[in-house]
Amino acid sequence: MRKLLLLFILCPVFFANAQVDLSKGLVAYYPFTGNANDVSGNDLNGEVAGSFLTTDRFGNQNAAYWFEGTLTSYIKVPDNDLLDFKGKFSFSLWYYKDTAQPESDFQGLFYKGRDVENSYGFVLTYNKETFYVRDFTERPSAAVDSPMSFLNWHHVVGVLDDSSNSLRLYMNGVLVHEESTTSFTSKNNYPLVFGRHFRNPDGFFTYEYAFRGKIDDARFYNRILNVPVENGQLYIENISNYQGITITDIAGRIVYVNNQTSTNSYLDLSSLKPGTYILNAFSGSEKFSNKVLIK
């Protein structure tokens, strides 16, 4: 029987029966469902300060965290050697931007280390979103050329790849920037912080780049994520929350309809001939589309 695993539907092109293991190399995973605990098995649990549980991108209650955009609203994960990376590093998370930023402002979704020293993070400014790594000699970064929309959820994946000496940023399943870099090692005694920047390990002093909005499903890996397959799976995880799926052939004819009346993670595509199709997934007013190659 030809089947398509639903979790892979937003890769640029994907294949039936592909298998991945998103637990491989997983250092920390924060689903933010009811608390800020790490469910990777490494117990790198977060300490919540002035941030509140809220709705996630599917409208589920107490399934993401809200950050006030102040210095007293953040989640801190105590320093641990597992959060220091050498050469290979990936992260994935969802975020929702609540308000526009002044031209002089920064908003930090997460940081590990002071931004002018040995560190890494993902930060928003008024004109772009930036993934950066920094040692004591250089600060390569990968950024989207224009800011993502406000009052919407966005998925971001950042990859540091020492095999190709590159830093890559993916927004909503699409590669938006790739930057050359040299070998990078992150080693500091700072906590991993969501929602603001710590200028020292204790978090004192000003200009701490506070973020106003929501963060959900944050993952950190000590390896290079396989793109596009794993990026696509992370983009459309929890697929049972999507209300409808249709598949059309390249002529635009609908050849398959699934209204998601069950939580089955597979589509039975045994009636379709090998070829290229377009898969569309619907969630409320949102529509996601991409190519499917069936063998």
Cα(44)–Cα(55) distance, integer angstroms: 23
Domains, in order of start, for the chain: 3-11+242-294 (2.60.40.3080), 23-225 (2.60.120.200)
Query: Could you tell me the pLDDT band of residue 10, with boundaries at 50, 70 and 90?
Result: very low
For residue range 144-203, what is the model confidence (pLDDT) as tens digits? 666 777 778 888 899 888 888 888 888 887 788 888 877 677 788 889 999 988 766 665
Closest listed residue to residue 18, CA positions, set 245, 272, 228: 228
For residue range 190-212, what is the model confidence (pLDDT) as tens digits? 899 999 887 666 655 556 688 99
Preceding omega of 12 cis (within 30 degrees of 0):
no
Tell me: pLDDT of 226 over 70.
Answer: yes
Closest listed residue to residue 11, CA positions, set 134, 128, 174, 255: 174
Closest listed residue to residue 279, CA positions, set 260, 257, 262, 263: 257
Q: Give the type of residue at 225.
A: L
End-to-end CA distance of the chain: 12
Query: Could you tell me the pLDDT band of residue 14, with boundaries at 50, 70 and 90?
Result: very low
